[in-house]
Structure 1
Amino acid sequence: MTHRRVPAALSAPLSAPLSALTLALVLTACGQGTQPPTTADAPPSPAVIDEVTVVRAPAEATALPDPRRSALLQAESADAPAARARLGTAYVPQGQRLSAQTLPAGAQTNRVALKVLVLSSGEGDFGLPEARNMLGESGVPYDVFDASTQPLTMDALVREDGVGRYQGVILTSSALLMQPDSAGLVPSALDSAEWETLFEYERAYRVRQLALYGSPGTVPEDYGLRAVAGAETTTTSMKPTAAGRGVLSDLTGTVIPVRYAYTYPSAVTSVPGVSTTPLLTDPSGRVLGATSTSSDGRERLILTMAQNPALRHSQLLSYGLVGWLTRGVSLGEHRRFLQVDIDDWFLGGDHYNASTGQLYADPFRISGNDALAVRDQQGWIRSSFPVARNFRYAMAFNGGGARTDVATLCTTLFTGFAKDSLSSASKCLNDTFDWVNHTKDHLRMDVMDYATANSQLADNFVIGSRMGLNMSRNSLVTGEHSGLGNMDPTDDGTYNDSDVNLPKTDLGLERSNVNLLSAATNNGIRYLASDHSVKSHWDASCPTCGVPHPLNAGVFLVPRWPNGVAYHVTTPTEATAFFNSVYGPQGRFPYFPSNLTYTEFLDYESDVALNHVLDGGAFPHYMHQPNLREYSWGKSLASDWIRALLTKYSKYTTLPLSTLRWDDLGPYVERRTQEEKAKAAGLLTGVYDRASNTVTLQSAAPLPYTLTGGNSGTPYGAQRIQKGTVSGTLTVAVTPR
């Protein structure tokens, strides 16, 4: 059979142009396979590779950049808001809206709700995105209070029953600065009476205050720091002090870059009644972060550099700052993950020719030796990086390309004699990886009848069972993430098995294929992988949530991150040649001033991936089987990418990275989504009692809860994390930090 040639991946048009500041890689979703064979065991007969007849996974469709990649590029710019966030000469207006308010008669000062108050200076507040992001990563409930439009009263801080409404307070900037007035001075969004009201609440209820950014002085209060005149910068670095290591407990002590953020290096000054402890210092020993105790005993923490959710220093500080603010007791958890999916196992796929910029005539399929090498590389990753001790690849497999009648071979000495060395090695690796249904033949499922969809899912499970694969049974990755509404609007289903890359439009989940959804649920599948680069496939309001499918309550979507290791490259030369053909100075979308080397390519790609990992979502990154080729002893593009990511991650933090099988990953994301939505709606709440060191949880209906700081929880990082279900009320013992 002659293979149908397909256009180079970039020949598929993008649905929107890319600007220089929204540089992104060509983000690929899986291609699809050829006609299904007539029996579950017998694959069709196109080309012979590695002595087995295989189905070829055809060209991948290009997709728009994922939003987090664009956010990173926009944040890391001299023109970014954080880089331009200079603070003017601040003043606090004299109280006019109200007088300073005292505590109510029934104040229960030992009891506070497990929720954080974010005080914002209103429209254009550059610190608000980071406040939202850091709390969202940790699952901590919060309210945003626009201090520019509404008065801050004691009623806003204390409930009618006397319980404090908030366990912590975040100031987006230390003085809540607004736009300059006619004299060029910058007023605070709170007047003097409102500041006094806030301070009285913090003092009485012993609530900590975190200022995400400030130029230390005396307005609205004195932290015992003074900005060093002339030291302002947008490029520096910071290192935690011994005290900083105690607060920011996951940090290794390595120098952290502070770039693209306006910064006010400061010095400690003696102030009567104020005790100041530096946490972070720059190379000259000047203070970039400190805790201080006010003369009335309130605990405060201030940072002197601007923040942005995509900046490295903001992401690395987030875990420790939230832990300090909440005293280690909070609803939710901050957990980090390393999930890597490899799509198209058993299929041959396109192979990029670095010399011509086209595709090789023959598809590429990894060999049994490559597969065994992946096992060894996975073991090396586990042993080399303590933060990733339980790392495991998830292999999304297409059984239409497998041979179930082969012997099991676990050594490279005999793979050359196998009928199909990849199938033989896969039988040996049945418990080494998490095996996930990727459909039998990788067909496009946007427009497909129920019978075909059902066969593609059911037959693939049958083949996996005959191969002895330890499969995740409740999960599915469709080819190209197809069937979920990101599709050619004119597709009539005629070319479901075609190699042609049709232009795609995000038509929304409402245009999903209901036949696919029904086939999934009828095969015991609840969790479908979706594409994080497609707007309708993820929840922008909740950075760690999945998406319940609007057309079928039995289906829940888990978004996956694309990356810049192209689907059809097998060596460093191929990977960088393709990347440079897109973003090099002569590329289709020129961005970099010179072509990147492989080392530079990995550095850039691992930066993007590190941002995703630090976000705290359990979303997998996905690659493709050609990326597993052992191009040099012990090396593949996939393992190079993981090593580069883990080298950076381990440089800065010791917080362990969890890896879940898809059978556990889907339920985890769904559970977290249910909790986050319940907390946002006020259906799941908690109150911390300082006198008894207990938390009382409350819900109107049975709901899962996750509590950081519970005494009987499982250790993770510096805290214990306790999980359970609450209906009505439940009291849990906790240990604050």
Structure 2
Amino acid sequence: MKRTIRTTALTVGALIAALGLQAGSAHAETTAPRIDLRVLLVSDGGPATDAIAAELDTAGTPYTKVDLTQAGRPTIDAAFLADTVDGRPRAKYQAVVLPNDNPFAAGSAEMTALADYERTYAVPQVDAYTYARPEAGLQYPVYGGYSGSLDGVQAQVTAAGEAGPFGYLKGAVPFEDNSPTVGESYAYLSTPVAGADFTPYVQAPIPGTTKQGSLVGEYRHDGRRELVVTFVYNQYQEQFRLLSRGIVEWMTGGVHLGAARNYFAVHVDDVFAADDRWDTKLNCTPGDVDCTNDEGTPSPIRMTPADVDHATAWQSSHHFTFDLVYNGAGSVDQRSDNNGVDQLADKLVADRNQFRWVNHTYTHAFLGCEQNTTVVPWTCETNPDGSTKWVSRSAIDNEIAINRVWGHLNGLPLDDDELVTGEHSGLKILPQQPQDNPNLAPALADNGVKWLASDNSRDPEQRVVGPATTVSRYPMNVFYNAGTASEEADEYNWIYTSRAQGGSGICEDNPATTTCLPAPLDTSTGYQDYIVPLETRIDLGHVLANDPKPHFIHQSNLTEDRLAYPVLDGVLDGYDALFTDSTPLVNLRMKDIGTELQRRATWRTAVQNGQVTAYRIGATVTVQAPAGIAATATMPTGTTQSGHAFGTAYAGATSGWTTTTGGTLTLTLPSTAASTAPSTTAHHKAPAATRPAPHAKVPAGVTEQVPYTPDN
């Protein structure tokens, strides 16, 4: 299918146009000022500026933070903002982020310096969350607008927003409403002041009227450009995550260091094995040390050939690939117990090229300390001298190597660099095992393992274990020991209800990390009505946060009631409803996720340590970084590096990693991008950035009004 990629207009174009220069001309390159690719973020400690800072951090975009609440902060004046380098004027920041349209006292010399700087260098300003008022190009909300909650409201990107910085969205911007008792959003909805050069990019209906009020819009006045945001948010809310890319692209003109994509990968653990089933009468799982049942054990859960057909058909319809994390002994045992027959393994091996495959060890053995399971919770066995008894290096070697051999004999398309140990064992597990098994790293070296899975809930930071680097995986809250929706809801009730409600009381004992349900779920409807929407929202939140870490479920979730699919459908279908084809989900295998995380960590360290400098002069972008480091940047489509196309297309731009040559990377912007002033595609007014700010009557009682932050 042919896809149309939109590109936003660039701030460099505004600068060149303002100086009366032609992009690409020798005269332009010799007289244009240097614009450093760094953002100035002025914070008042509120959630809006913190959210933008988090977005820049995650993408790897350099910024300087000035905290207005700190007494020893630097003064923002002309010298702080600009100087001269090699005889060329230098703007130290390509964009300015303020907590609102003017966070300084009346008559502030700092705001005057900022306004002069923005005019001189055509630097845009983001008002992270401001009250709707004429100084921001909007009418006071009391004049036919609205001030209040937007919980559950669906905002909409305007035609100008789609043609401009938010072109990666299909249009809908839903505002969260996760609790009927908690205010989650607050906004000022208003229309532009008469005569203001204001273009709404995102709007929502004004209650009680037929009008739309602006939530995000561009205000051009007095030779300056502002992105005016009139709703409060934090970095975790879906509405911000949907719009954050456009905010960054608007303020940088699509030319900045750092990059962001939307990722989703799903590992299916225990393939070929069977998972124990939750006992709804005993409220435990047979096989656990604290679960005994004299009346018999519920049947284990194992996929069937029909489940494989369903998985391959689902993948095809969703353009998605599972990573099957397998234990070969599961099939060997099945054949041993059934006269050599294992129809599931036969089907999976026949369809092996429909999936990616990862070694999960042969028997799923615990590879940390030797466990004493006669007590609850289990403890590590100890030697006579009190030291820990560890699973041996040879035992770990066998679990890795035998499973690998089994996989290769069956033609599985493995990558031998990758490993997921059973229960992520061998790595530290608090509180029982506060350190890695010292035999794990040598065994990984013996087997050439370079990427080792860890549990994000226990070990979220990427770290080195011998020759391997960890890749943290998000556990999805779809239980491994439930094959049906009623079993899932029953176990969920046990974990998340109080003792008085018949639950375990875990939520009462751990209120800081676990929230009790107000009442037990209906086991016939609770999974679909409560658990699925909650887990979908959590997982989609990871996707929208530029987070490549994989999620993991179990083979039991793909059989019987096939519990995983409603959540996965919610994530993928929900994503498709929000984003255009130019912004596809990125579905990587484990080693590629590990490489992405590793590169980010190296880049982030270099940026934070001041080892990266980047600037733009006319249509030329220069990045200076430690030699050999992989640099990441986002540029307009058509940008070249040494005459070749830079990066890959994503969300209407081009971005990617590239290694600097001798510590320097030079990029050339396309002439069309460098010569087009911002916002010319968004509206057809005459160039009006020099218009003065309009005046409007100030209504009684609002002269001192400041942005409102709900207590959530």
Q: TM-score range by the shorter chain?
A: 0.7 to 0.9
Inter-CA distance 405–367: structure 2 relative to 1 (3 Å threshold): closer
The answer to whether the 8 Å contact 1:245/1:253 transfers is yes
1:118 lines up with 2:41 in the alignment = yes
Inter-CA distance 189–160: structure 2 relative to 1 (3 Å threshold): farther
| Alpha-carbon separation, structure 2, partners of 1:418 and 1:644 | 39
2:620 equivalent in structure 1: 694
**One of 438, 446, 449 as aligned partner of 1:522:** 446
Look up the SS of the partner of 1:472 in the other structure. Answer: coil
| Alpha-carbon separation, structure 2, partners of 1:377 and 1:130 | 35
2:701 equivalent in structure 1: none
Inter-CA distance 163–486: structure 2 relative to 1 (3 Å threshold): farther
| Alpha-carbon separation, structure 2, partners of 1:578 and 1:404 | 28
Inter-CA distance 418–456: structure 2 relative to 1 (3 Å threshold): closer
1:282 equivalent in structure 2: 204
1:306 equivalent in structure 2: 232
1:611 equivalent in structure 2: 541
1:158 lines up with 2:82 in the alignment = yes
Structure 1 residues 163-172 or 152-161, which shifts more? 152-161
Q: How far apart are residue 732 of structure 1 and its match?
A: 0.9
1:97 equivalent in structure 2: none
Q: How far apart are residue 488 of structure 1 and its match?
A: 4.5
The answer to whether the 8 Å contact 2:171/2:578 transfers is yes
Aligned length: 562
Give the 5 Å matches for 1:26-65.
Answer: none
The answer to whether the 8 Å contact 2:52/2:244 transfers is no
Give the 5 Å matches for 1:119-518.
Answer: 119-121=42-44, 124-148=45-69, 149=71, 150=73, 151-159=75-83, 161=85, 162-176=89-103, 188=104, 192-218=108-134, 221-228=135-142, 231-236=146-151, 237=153, 238-246=155-163, 247-257=165-175, 259=177, 260-271=184-195, 274-284=196-206, 285-354=211-280, 357-359=283-285, 360-382=297-319, 391-403=320-332, 419-447=341-369, 448-489=391-432, 507=434, 511-518=435-442
Q: How far apart are residue 581 of structure 1 and its match?
A: 3.1
Q: How far apart are residue 355 of structure 1 and its match?
A: 6.1
Code of the residue aligned with 2:599 in structure 1: it is: R
Inter-CA distance 561–191: structure 2 relative to 1 (3 Å threshold): farther
Inter-CA distance 405–642: structure 2 relative to 1 (3 Å threshold): closer
Gaps of 5+ in 2: 1-29, 178-183, 286-296, 370-390, 508-515, 679-712
1:668 lines up with 2:596 in the alignment = yes
Inter-CA distance 108–599: structure 2 relative to 1 (3 Å threshold): farther
Q: How far apart are residue 630 of structure 1 and its match?
A: 4.4
State the Cα deviation string for residues 616-669 of structure 1 (Å, max 9, x = none): 1111111011111043xxxx2222221011122222223210111223222222
Code of the residue aligned with 2:326 in structure 1: it is: F
| Alpha-carbon separation, structure 2, partners of 1:424 and 1:575 | 29
Inter-CA distance 127–671: structure 2 relative to 1 (3 Å threshold): same
Inter-CA distance 190–576: structure 2 relative to 1 (3 Å threshold): farther
1:3 equivalent in structure 2: none
Look up the SS of the partner of 2:146 in the other structure. Answer: coil
State the Cα deviation string for residues 171-222 of structure 1 (Å, max 9, x = none): 233333xxxxxxxxxxx3796100011112222221111112110225xx44
Give the 5 Å matches for 1:101-116.
Answer: 110-116=33-39
Code of the residue aligned with 1:341 in structure 2: it is: H
Inter-CA distance 158–458: structure 2 relative to 1 (3 Å threshold): farther
| Alpha-carbon separation, structure 2, partners of 1:571 and 1:361 | 13
Code of the residue aligned with 1:115 in structure 2: it is: R
2:648 equivalent in structure 1: 714
1:653 lines up with 2:579 in the alignment = yes
State the Cα deviation string for residues 286-314 of structure 1 (Å, max 9, x = none): 42324334433211101111111121211
Inter-CA distance 215–705: structure 2 relative to 1 (3 Å threshold): same
Structure 1 residues 666-675 or 193-202, which shifts more? 666-675
The answer to whether the 8 Å contact 2:43/2:50 transfers is no
Q: How far apart are residue 164 of structure 1 and its match?
A: 1.9
| Alpha-carbon separation, structure 1, partners of 2:442 and 2:95 | 46
The answer to whether the 8 Å contact 1:215/1:264 transfers is yes
Q: How far apart are residue 322 of structure 1 and its match?
A: 1.2
1:564 equivalent in structure 2: 477
Look up the SS of the partner of 1:127 in the other structure. Answer: helix
State the Cα deviation string for residues 330-367 of structure 1 (Å, max 9, x = none): 11211011100011112111112446644444322222
The answer to whether the 8 Å contact 2:272/2:344 transfers is yes
Inter-CA distance 108–153: structure 2 relative to 1 (3 Å threshold): farther
The answer to whether the 8 Å contact 2:217/2:229 transfers is no
Look up the SS of the partner of 1:235 in the other structure. Answer: coil
Q: How far apart are residue 258 of structure 1 and its match?
A: 5.3
**One of 621, 625, 628 as aligned partner of 2:555:** 625
Look up the SS of the partner of 1:175 in the other structure. Answer: coil
| Alpha-carbon separation, structure 1, partners of 2:414 and 2:274 | 21
| Alpha-carbon separation, structure 2, partners of 1:223 and 1:111 | 30
Q: How far apart are residue 374 of structure 1 and its match?
A: 1.7
Look up the SS of the partner of 1:702 in the other structure. Answer: coil
The answer to whether the 8 Å contact 1:279/1:287 transfers is no
The answer to whether the 8 Å contact 2:101/2:136 transfers is no
Look up the SS of the partner of 1:686 in the other structure. Answer: strand
Q: How far apart are residue 270 of structure 1 and its match?
A: 2.4
The answer to whether the 8 Å contact 1:404/1:467 transfers is no
Q: How far apart are residue 422 of structure 1 and its match?
A: 1.9
| Alpha-carbon separation, structure 2, partners of 1:577 and 1:217 | 52
Q: Please, what is the CA RMSD of the aligned residues?
A: 2.6
Look up the SS of the partner of 2:592 in the other structure. Answer: helix
The answer to whether the 8 Å contact 1:108/1:163 transfers is no
State the Cα deviation string for residues 211-244 of structure 1 (Å, max 9, x = none): 12110225xx443443336822123522121112
Q: How far apart are residue 404 of structure 1 and its match?
A: 11
| Alpha-carbon separation, structure 1, partners of 2:547 and 2:127 | 25
| Alpha-carbon separation, structure 1, partners of 2:99 and 2:470 | 33
Look up the SS of the partner of 2:47 in the other structure. Answer: coil
Look up the SS of the partner of 2:199 in the other structure. Answer: strand
